[in-house]
Structure 1
Amino acid sequence: MTRTGLALGLCLAAASVFATPPAPTPAVDAATEAADAEPMPGGALQDREFGVRSDRFGLERRVEMHQWRRDGADYRRVWNAAPIDSTGFPPEYLNPPELPLESERWWAPAPTLAGRPLDREVLTALGRWVEFRPDFARLPANLAAAFQPEGNGLGSAENPLAPQVGDVRIRWYELTLPDLDGRVELRDGTWQLAPGAMEAARTPADPFIALPVTEARVLREPWAWAVGGFAIVLLVALVWRGARKRDD
């Protein structure tokens, strides 16, 4: 074979090698994609009245008031998240007609898994509310004067060991998610509960009380915190004053 023929043969062989298409990359199915990914909440949540923040999938403020409850022929004081109707109670056992501030719940604004939307039902069915102790560094000064640390939250009682009717205590909870592998499936571009996941899950996300559903709140200016905080302090003071008058 001549040098020219040898060179031509080598060129043709090289061309055939480079012309061979690469092997296709194996497709990653949705189940594998979900198993390898961590769910993301899509933004921070905030209880802006108290400056409490969370980077989980839900944030809940639970408010309870110390009230009288009928117990057979007697009356006893209890912490309760809703007003206890004291119509017909003796005057010394009357309760304030309403709580000075509401419990409230915020949901993650745009939760995702592997870059795709995560249906709200996944959060409500599989999520678990866990109490946490917030950093109260952002607590407005007027609220800091009305409440003091009590357990993991705040309380309005002068003596937490001897609360009076009308006193309020507040706790905060975050919504956490378990491992979603095998519990969700991709339908119409959204991760939704897989068949049987609801039955295998624990009871739906702790329906403590009927809380207003609030979307994620963005940070706002300090002066707005102060205005909201002043309103809360005023309401607490009015409830406390009314309870004191009845006690007297």
Structure 2
Amino acid sequence: MIRGAALVVLLALAGDVAAQDEETLEPAPGAALEDPDFRVRSRQFGLERRVEMYQWRSDADSYRRVWNAAWIDSSGFAPGHVNPPGLPLPGERWWARDARIDGKPIAPEVLRALGHWQVFRPNFSRLPGNLAATFQPDGDGLSSSENPLDPRVGDLRVAWSELVLPPLEGKVELRDGRWQLSSQARDAIAAGALPDPATQSAPLIAPTLLQRLWPWGLGALVLLLLWLGRRRRRRAKHRAGHRATDHNGGHANPSNRDGSP
């Protein structure tokens, strides 16, 4: 019983140490990024502000109003279909400058080549007063429309995305003191597709503690299973003895029911 409990504790401790070992190798973005206009912050590897304006667009012989990220020149449009002279607020991107893995800097090309953008809803509690008077929450972002369901030409809507990194095993390697794209990743980018990290033979770092200790852990697991099986068989034998006693009227030996020797 004590040995079995000790094995369970050993496996749990090995898992905790391995988890801590892996955590130290996770890429860290460094200082938070901030949109200086809206004071929106992100603690990921990049921050993107996307701006769209409600504008007139010419489709063949008709006009329709659309949300568009680029300014649409309406100088040749029919009267009554005039767009503002330009976007008053540009879209922008900010990149992490001190991203690191295990204390070593990550080359900017790694972020641009491997990262992907995902939408997030920021906290607008730090919105400057002038923008708070102009914009209101709309979905995951902000809109300047008085009624977001009925926008007018010239209205703006703004949304933000964060840059996150996928698992980097096999995609980066430490060269000249910096984490840079591996040759495999460069070939995959040139081919238009990244390889599955699970198929890469060259690991990002040295084997983790869990990988180094797995034979010992497997042996401990086998011993634990054998001990549990032996315990289960003893319990089954004990229950079978109780059932036999109950069936014989509470006597352990059925031949002694008449009191004869």
Q: Work out whether the TM-score is over 0.5.
A: yes
Aligned partner of 1:176 in structure 2 is 164
The offset of 1:141, in angstroms, is 2.1
- Distance in 1 (alpha carbons) for counterparts of 2:56 and 2:186: 38
Aligned partner of 2:76 in structure 1 is 88
Please state whether the residue corresponding to 1:197 is helix, strand or coil.
helix
Match for residue 35 of structure 2 among 28, 38, 47: 47
Match for residue 107 of structure 1 among 81, 95, 110: 95
Give the conservation status (yes or no) of the 8 Å contact 2:170–2:184.
no
The offset of 1:72, in angstroms, is 1.1
Higher helix share: 2
The offset of 1:51, in angstroms, is 1.5
Match for residue 163 of structure 1 among 134, 151, 156: 151
2:114 is the alignment partner of 1:133:
no
Aligned residues: 172
Q: Deviations over 1:167-189 (max 9, x none)?
A: 00000010000011110011111
The offset of 1:198, in angstroms, is 4.2
Q: Which amino acid aligns with 2:33?
A: L
- Distance in 1 (alpha carbons) for counterparts of 2:132 and 2:175: 48
Please state whether the residue corresponding to 2:145 is helix, strand or coil.
coil
Please state whether the residue corresponding to 1:124 is helix, strand or coil.
helix
Q: Which amino acid aligns with 1:186?
A: L
Mark the CA change 1:44 to 1:203 in structure 2 (over 3 Å): closer, same or farther. farther
Aligned partner of 1:70 in structure 2 is 58
- Distance in 2 (alpha carbons) for counterparts of 1:61 and 1:203: 26
Match for residue 136 of structure 2 among 129, 136, 148: 148
- Distance in 1 (alpha carbons) for counterparts of 2:97 and 2:82: 41
Mark the CA change 1:152 to 1:188 in structure 2 (over 3 Å): closer, same or farther. same
Give the conservation status (yes or no) of the 8 Å contact 1:83–1:98.
yes
Unaligned runs of 5+ in 1: 1-32, 205-248
Question: Which is greater in Rg?
Answer: 2
- Distance in 2 (alpha carbons) for counterparts of 1:168 and 1:47: 17
- Distance in 2 (alpha carbons) for counterparts of 1:198 and 1:171: 31
The offset of 1:195, in angstroms, is 1.4
Unaligned runs of 5+ in 2: 1-20, 195-261
